[in-house]
Amino acid sequence: MSLEGKKVALTGGSGGIGSRLAHELVRRRADLVVIGRIEPQDLPGRFLAADLGTAEGIDAAARIVAAEMPDILVNLAGVQFFGAVEDQESSHVLMSYLVNLVAPVRLSQAVLPEMRRRQAGQIVNIGSVLGSIHYPYFVTYSSAKAGLRGFSEGLRREVASDGIAVTHIAPRGVRTGLSKGLVERFANMSGMRLDDPEVVVTRIAEAIVRRERDVLIGAPERLFARLNALAPRLIDSALVKDAAKARLLFHR
């Protein structure tokens, strides 16, 4: 279960999951470089600055990871909006898709030439269960994560003969700063499970080491995702009820 000798490039290393994952990767002896806008406190690896919320920042990050030539790229950085879609500011809509979808695609493009040359490498995209079960009031986040899931699947098929693994990991709700306030209240009202971040980080690290393909955390969510793919109308009624509960939070 060691990553000794592997250079890992990680985005989102300052968040509730990212900071823990950074320490876990180093504990497993990875040579870690974290790419982000703000340098995390108590960073266990090197830090290189780039803003994934702008097109220019994403291009800069792409140049950084290309020069680093990592063995493993982990696209973890993400932003979330909870609320009625019409209430999300246009600037935040753009940033949401840039951080959650465009950045992972561009950074993957940046590392692929060297990985193909070596006939080795791994790209890890951290999605969300909401990329398979499209929740109301998380519309832009859910749709961006659905795009990331589709990108991961298509890319995996494209590089299948190049020795490159593509790992897509979809956590359910996690008890971090993103789940505070209204999100936590909604989770309590709807019965949405929020996992301990340490458990999620351990599962992510195991999936990286094992070069797993698709990981969706949570047995009920895996079943729900399959039903949503096969018979979405069966899921509509449950999610409409959840939407009504969420509407109460916003007095709509």
Q: What structural domains and CATH numbers belong to the chain?
A: 7-250 (3.40.50.720)
Mean pLDDT along residues 170-182: 74
178 vs 24 pLDDT, higher one = 24
Catalytic residues: 141
Q: Confidence class of residue 8 from pLDDT cuts 50, 70 and 90?
A: very high
226 vs 11 pLDDT, higher one = 11
Res. 116: pLDDT tops 90 = yes
Using the structure block, give the residue that is written with the tokens 């789940």. Answer: 179
Res. 132: pLDDT tops 70 = yes
Mean pLDDT along residues 54-65: 97
Q: What is the pTM of this model?
A: 0.91
Please give the C-alpha separations between residue 79 and each of 111, 127, 128, 141, 164, in angstroms, as whole numbers.
23, 11, 12, 8, 27
Mean pLDDT along residues 193-201: 86
What does the mean pLDDT of the chain come to? 90
- DSSP string over 16-37: HHHHHHHHHHHHTT-EEEEEES
